[in-house]
Amino acid sequence: MNATNVETKSADVRLRLEPELKERAARVLAGAGLDLSVAIRLFLKQVVSHQGLPFEIRHPNAATMRAISQAESIAKPRFGSEKELFDDLEKGNQRKKRKTAEKKRLHKGVSKRLARTPA
Give pLDDT, residue 19. 94
Note the pTM of the prediction, 2 decimals. 0.44
State how far the Cα of 41 lies from the Cα of 4, in Å rounded to an integer. Answer: 11
Give pLDDT, residue 113. 62
44, amino acid identity = L
Could you report the per-residue pLDDT of 51-81, keeping only the tens digit for each?
999 988 888 889 988 988 888 888 777 788 8
CB of 39 closer than 8 Å to CB of 29: yes
90 phi and psi, to 5 degrees? -65, -40
State how far the Cα of 65 lies from the Cα of 26, in Å rounded to an integer. Answer: 32
For Cα atoms 108, 113, 114, give the angle at the middle one, nearest 5 degrees: 95
